[in-house]
Structure 1
């Protein structure tokens, strides 16, 4: 195999590759022999078909297979021997190919830039931290007694918004019960928008023992389309009227919320609140770190990688746009402005990715099997019912596993940097932290 460099422009390289005819013939014969071992042709036993007949029948298929295998093996050999780190998959342009011609192709590729990372001591970071505010903590605790709401029966009480009503509700259309709206001996809370508004309005002001009969037009978005926009006869028996009962924040309430006792609940609440503040603090210092790494490094970017990143961002934007999910800040911008802004985002992502990858490589940071296992277990904890599907998805999908690996690697590099530079810590209030 002969390899000649035709041109080199920055990170872009163009190589001319020639593979002699004898290598093509040798590879082609190997393909034909492999085919002959499995093919069945009338008049011959399996595996005993003469090679010239196999060539007549399957020569073109074997030739195509030979081309693919030679291109694949030779490009891999070139990349390995020249120690090339590719930014994207190389482009192959076949110029000549045949058993007598040999193989000639042009390989156009773009490599990852070679650069030295700047001294990390240049990075100056401040970690903003905040502790749980006592008033916020007390307010959060008090919400548990309101969220975990209980009701008690109130004789003679007329129904008002916020009350619980134990009732039977029988909607009839053309002498048949509308089962989707039927309620039998169940409590509903007035005002929580779980019932058709017109029905709820009729219930307000009634009391236990009342029987209501009226006709109600069901809404156009009612699940049963045969009933939507139809006049339905409604019969309601008000069985009990119940009023909200204020809960006492005690051990019993704590246990109903999954805690051992009230002290355990308090500890868990404070720990969760502090965890939320700590996560904000971590996000802020990571953003500051990324900004500074971007600022102190000057490197050439592989255009193919930038284009790939931009195309992904732009596809996501258009998908969000079709669903009405784009940010308000983007709604009034024209396509030219948006593309320019997203191109800058793509360039920054590629640049930061290259910097973190280089720091990780220089310091032998790798994603271990245990890291991947932990990430998959966390995914399963979020979706316990989908355990088998999640495991199958990652074990059978190399791209999915790679997408899982990338953020883990990034975080490990970030953690390494933060552990090896001087960081000033500054205490601020929750309000100040959330403003940053």
Structure 2
């Protein structure tokens, strides 16, 4: 096997591999000779089958196995001899195409092909200690716990019909049928039957709930309301609609009780225990939000420390994944690039930068993890699979079997675990200071922060 490098351009490499036909034939003869003592053919005693006869029967399949093995051997030789890390699976171009491969299998030609690879960039990680991180910390206030308690109590409220002729008031529940129209024509998704509207909840578009205050059971009413400009359906966003409403019932809520009985309704012993559980839940939410912001700061710091060429195919694949999600989101929302005050070309340029950042940081984290021997244990992967299975009640066994048989899916679970472990390692090296913040500031979206 002769391997010659023919291209070294950036992160692209090409190699020409040639295996003389005589070498392939020699290896085939050895394998056929080894088969003599193993195969059983009618008319021949064990071990007495002529090699020439075996060649007529099995020569083509033996040659195919040898050719496949040689491709693997060549790939390994290229990686080992050149001390490279592949970014993608090698791309193979066989000389002569299908006809050339047929000639090789028939023993009439040398086996020659080109191996095109993209390699991972080489870079020094350097000293990563001393990265400054500001960790936002919000205190779980009693008022927040009380608000959650009240929300839970409201969801458990019993509603009863108000006396005949009674008007709907704020906090009442109105049961309605309605048909929504734009320019006098019903629109898709604008019809509802036996819909519960809790007045004052803000669950419906602005103006709808407010105009139900004062209605009575049996009343029919036409309500005009305008969809918000950022409504998820672009065909309705900003449009004014009329709703032909039939009021079927007006109900009043029972007394809002926050007591031990409320706690028992959710499987807890007492109100104090319920408050404790809610407080812990809010604390976990705050901790997760703080973690996201800390991780974002850390990744921003890493992104500023490294600049190197990225494997073109790897970058293109990541961009295609990002862009497919963008197109899917826009299609679902019915919005266009014009609605976002941009163009498709400008949006692609922005998202290509996002894809480049993801690829770069992925390579940096992988290098840091490898150099510091950070690994994901099988126990951690198993826990992730179990957690995933729990998300599909009644289908746990099917989910488990899917991951057992699909290594690529397991790799997708392993990747974020590995990333988080590398992040934890880096945070131990960083200078982390805590900054007290309000709940609203802690939970503020990163996009909102960037815009402010």
TM-score by length of 2: 0.72
Structure 2 CA distance for aligned equivalents of residues 23 and 160 of structure 1:
95
Whether 1:120 aligns to 2:128 is yes
What is the CA-CA distance between 1:243 and the residue it aligns to?
4.4
**Match of residue 109 from structure 2:** 101
**Match of residue 257 from structure 1:** 266
Structure 2 CA distance for aligned equivalents of residues 421 and 86 of structure 1:
31
Whether 1:406 aligns to 2:415 is yes
Whether 1:359 aligns to 2:368 is yes
**Match of residue 87 from structure 1:** 87
Q: Secondary structure at the match of 1:266?
A: helix
- CA deviations over 1:147-196 (Å, ceiling 9, x no partner): 11124687x5557654699xxxxxxxxxxxxxxxxxxxxxx886479xxx
Long gaps (5+) in structure 2? 176-193, 200-214, 219-247
Distance change in 2, residues 1:248/1:291 (3 Å): same
What is the CA-CA distance between 1:319 and the residue it aligns to?
3.5
What is the CA-CA distance between 1:329 and the residue it aligns to?
8.4
Structure 2 CA distance for aligned equivalents of residues 37 and 347 of structure 1:
57
Distance change in 2, residues 1:190/1:121 (3 Å): closer
What is the CA-CA distance between 1:312 and the residue it aligns to?
2.0
TM-score by length of 1: 0.74
* Superposition map of 1:159-174 within 5 A: 162=172
- CA deviations over 1:32-74 (Å, ceiling 9, x no partner): 7899999999999999986656655665555444433321232
Whether 1:369 aligns to 2:369 is no
**Match of residue 382 from structure 1:** 391
- CA deviations over 1:2-52 (Å, ceiling 9, x no partner): 222222122222222222323312444577789999999999999998665
Distance change in 2, residues 1:47/1:286 (3 Å): farther
Structure 2 CA distance for aligned equivalents of residues 47 and 259 of structure 1:
78
The equivalent position to 1:310 in structure 2, one of 310, 319, 327, is: 319
Structure 1 CA distance for aligned equivalents of residues 196 and 312 of structure 2:
60
**Match of residue 16 from structure 1:** 16
Distance change in 2, residues 1:431/1:322 (3 Å): closer
Distance change in 2, residues 1:83/1:145 (3 Å): same
Q: Secondary structure at the match of 1:16?
A: strand
**Match of residue 255 from structure 2:** 246
Structure 1 CA distance for aligned equivalents of residues 339 and 51 of structure 2:
65
Whether 1:272 aligns to 2:281 is yes
- CA deviations over 1:247-286 (Å, ceiling 9, x no partner): 4211111110122211110001111112111111110010
Distance change in 2, residues 1:425/1:101 (3 Å): same
**Match of residue 118 from structure 2:** 110
The equivalent position to 1:431 in structure 2, one of 437, 440, 443, is: 440
Structure 2 CA distance for aligned equivalents of residues 109 and 295 of structure 1:
28
**Match of residue 217 from structure 1:** none
Q: Secondary structure at the match of 1:290?
A: helix
Structure 2 CA distance for aligned equivalents of residues 113 and 7 of structure 1:
16
- CA deviations over 1:345-396 (Å, ceiling 9, x no partner): 1111110001101110111001111110111122123323221111111110
The equivalent position to 2:148 in structure 1, one of 110, 132, 140, is: 140
Distance change in 2, residues 1:128/1:60 (3 Å): same
Distance change in 2, residues 1:131/1:31 (3 Å): farther
**Match of residue 67 from structure 1:** 67
The equivalent position to 1:292 in structure 2, one of 301, 310, 314, is: 301
- CA deviations over 1:275-319 (Å, ceiling 9, x no partner): 111111110010111011000112221122111211222233334
Whether 1:205 aligns to 2:217 is yes
**Match of residue 2 from structure 1:** 2
Distance change in 2, residues 1:325/1:349 (3 Å): farther
**Match of residue 137 from structure 2:** 129
Please give the root-mean-square deviation of Cα atoms over the aligned residues, in Å: 3.8
What is the CA-CA distance between 1:338 and the residue it aligns to?
2.2
